[in-house]
Amino acid sequence: MGLISNGTTIFDNGSMASGFGADLKFISKATASASASIEFTSGIDSTYKEYVFYFVNIHPQNDGVDFTFQVDTGTNTNYNQTMTTTSFRAYHTEADDEAVLEYDPGRDLAQSTSFKILTFECGNDSDENTVGTLQLFNPSSSTFVKHFISTIQSVKNTSMSVNKFNAGYINTTTPITRIQFKFSSGNIDDGTIKLYGISGS
C-alpha cells in the first residue's frame, strides 16, 4: 500500500485512486499497426463536459517526426479547425550535456488551421516511444470555444527526454465531434490511444 501526505494527514493512495477512478469512464480505444492516423469519430458528445485521451507507447515509423492532432465538427473530415495555442518544454540529454526549460514559440499556433504539434522530433529506435494525455473540455458546447491541455513525455531522436506542455483553444462555437492524431510524416507504427469521459464535470 502506498501513502500520500498533505503535511498533516496521511492518505492511502490506493483508496484515492479508486475514488478518482469512479469518475473516469472508459469509452473506447484504438491501437495502431502501421496506421496513417488514429481517429475517434464517435464517443465525443454531450455526455461529458471533459474528455481525456491517453497515449500509450506511441511509436513512429519515421525518425525525428512530430506527433500532432486536429479536430472537426459534425461529419466533416477536413480536420482544419482554427486554433490558438501556447507551448513550453523541458528536456535533458542522456549525455547530461544539455538541459532546458523554455517557452517554445516556434510550435505555437495563432488562428491557424494546421495540425497542432503535441511533441516534436520523436525517435523511432525500437525502444523509443511517446506517452501522455490530452484533455478536451466541453466539446459539445454551442456557446463557448473549446479548450485543451496536454502533457507529453517522449524520447527525441537525438537521445533526450522531452516533456512537452501544450494548451490552447479551438476557436469555434460549433460542437467538436471527432479528433485525429498522426505523425508529421510516416505511419504510427505501434501504440494505443484510449478515450475516457470524466463524469461529474
- Total domains present in the chain: 1
| Distances 31 to 35, 71, 108, 131, 187 between C-alpha atoms, Å | 9, 19, 28, 14, 13
Q: What is the model's pLDDT at position 122?
A: 97
Q: What is the model's pLDDT at position 118?
A: 98
Q: Which residues contact 170 (CB under 8 A, 6 or more apart)?
A: 71, 81, 82, 83, 145, 146, 147, 148, 176
Q: Residue 18 domain-assigned?
A: no
Does residue 18 register a pLDDT over 50?
no
Is 107 strand, coil or helix? helix
Q: What is the mean pLDDT of residues 6-13?
A: 48
Q: What is the mean pLDDT of residues 22-29?
A: 91
Q: Residue 116 domain-assigned?
A: yes
Q: What is the model's pLDDT at position 107?
A: 93
Q: What is the pLDDT of residues 64-103, one digit of tens each?
A: 999 999 999 999 999 999 999 999 999 999 999 999 999 9
Q: Residue 7 domain-assigned?
A: no
Q: Residue 101 domain-assigned?
A: yes
Does residue 15 register a pLDDT over 50?
no
Whichever domain contains 128, its CATH number is 2.60.120
Domain that holds residue 88: 25-198
Q: Residue 20 domain-assigned?
A: no
Q: Residue 19 domain-assigned?
A: no
Q: What is the mean pLDDT of residues 193-200?
A: 94
Does residue 19 register a pLDDT over 60?
no
Q: Residue 12 domain-assigned?
A: no
Amino acid at 78: N
Q: What is the pLDDT of residues 127-171, one digit of tens each?
A: 999 999 999 999 999 999 999 999 999 999 999 999 999 999 999
Q: Residue 4 domain-assigned?
A: no
pTM: 0.89
Q: What is the model's pLDDT at position 200?
A: 77
Does residue 17 register a pLDDT over 70?
no
